[in-house]
């Protein structure tokens, strides 16, 4: 099949913090010429704006109203995807450990999830999207042509996050604290009532600590090629 006739599919990449979703989703999108969407950034920005505007993070009604009114933009600046909310670049502000936990807290609110899901679906209306998050394959795109669930032990994920922080010059947390934070967020994300973090039944589960980022990316590209040619092709883990 020629490149022009290949279907531009929706690829859902879910998994816990530090599993390698962003690196892998971004690289996959670039290789395919697809749009990359980081839904975690939307939850982070929502939590940040709620704090800044004095909306309590457990006030479901006000959080829902705030989220529905937010205007998001995701411009690329060189190699970096920025997050702009209501005309303000919040890319750095949303990357702190506090912003991560706030994001996880506001993400429990059904009205917040509903308002963000409308935007997420609109961003993939034309296909050709790699979208990463926690509920993309289970809730946002239950019919996504390819669903990948990335995972790794909390120690490996914590080490990755800790290294990223140190590379940014942030030495405020010990490795053990970072791992504890990740486990706390995993627990909050996977036990919430609405759209909890879990692999979709028809997802391919890949462990990035065992396979490494390069092999995971290659595996995904192989699966994409198979899906583009025949959407009904059976994908199993052993086929990965
Ligand atoms: O991927 P991330 O670490 O930037 O996500 C921050 C938080 O946002 C995460 O702990 C849970 C929430 N989230 C979510 O509930 N659903 C998504 N699709 C993406 C993120």
Distance CA 22, CA 40 (A): 10
Q: Is 133 in the pocket of ligand 1 (CB under 6 A)?
A: yes
Candidates 38, 133, 149, 199: which one to mutate for ligand 1, based on the most atoms within 8 Å of Cβ?
133
Instruction: Give residue-wise pLDDT tens across range 5-30.
Output: 678 999 999 999 999 999 999 999 99
List the Cα angle 198/192/185 in 5-degree steps.
75
* Mean of the per-residue pLDDT values of the chain: 92
Q: What is the pTM of this model?
A: 0.92
Instruction: Return the structure tokens found at 34.
Output: 């697809």
Distance CA 219, CA 216 (A): 5
As for how many domains the chain has, the answer is: 1
Residue 146 is part of which domain span?
Answer: 9-229
Q: How far is the CA of 197 from the centre of ligand 1 (A)?
A: 9
CB contact burial 10-19 (16+ within 10 A = b; e otherwise): bbbbbbbbbb
Residue 131 lies in a domain: yes
Residue 235 lies in a domain: no
**Residue 133 and residue 140 in contact, taking contact as beta carbons nearer than 8 Å:** yes
Residue 234 lies in a domain: no
Q: Is 102 in the pocket of ligand 1 (CB under 6 A)?
A: no
* pLDDT reported for residue 238: 40
Instruction: Give residue-wise pLDDT tens across range 176-213.
Output: 999 999 999 999 999 999 999 999 999 999 999 988 88
Instruction: Give residue-wise pLDDT tens across range 58-84.
Output: 999 999 999 999 999 999 999 899 999
CATH (domain of 59): 3.40.50.300
Atom 9 in ligand 1: residue holding the nearest Cα? 104
């Amino acid at each position: 099949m020629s490149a022009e006739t290949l279907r531009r599919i929706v690829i859902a990449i879910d998994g816990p913090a530090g599993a390698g979703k962003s690196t892998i989703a971004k690289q996959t999108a670039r290789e395919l010429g697809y749009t990359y969407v980081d839904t975690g950034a939307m939850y982070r920005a929502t939590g940040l704006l709620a704090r800044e505007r004095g909306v309590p993070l457990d006030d479901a009604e006000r959080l829902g109203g705030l989220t529905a009114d937010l205007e998001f933009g995701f411009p690329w600046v060189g190699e970096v995807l920025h997050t702009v909310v209501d005309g303000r670049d919040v890319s750095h502000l949303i990357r702190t450990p506090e912003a991560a936990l706030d994001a996880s807290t506001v993400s429990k609110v059904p009205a917040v999830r509903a308002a963000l899901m409308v935007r997420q679906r609109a961003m993939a209306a034309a296909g050709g999207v790699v979208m990463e998050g926690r509920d993309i394959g289970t809730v946002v795109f239950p019919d996504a042509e390819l669903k990948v669930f990335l995972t790794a032990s909390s120690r490996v994920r914590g080490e990755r996050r800790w290294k990223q922080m140190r590379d940014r010059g942030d030495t405020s947390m010990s490795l053990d604290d970072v791992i504890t934070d990740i486990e706390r967020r995993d627990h909050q994300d996977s036990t919430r009532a609405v759209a909890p973090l879990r692999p979709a039944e028809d997802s391919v589960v890949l462990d990035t600590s065992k396979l490494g980022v390069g092999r995971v990316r290659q595996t995904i590209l192989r699966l994409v090629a198979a899906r583009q040619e025949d959407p009904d092709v059976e994908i199993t883990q052993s086929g990965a």
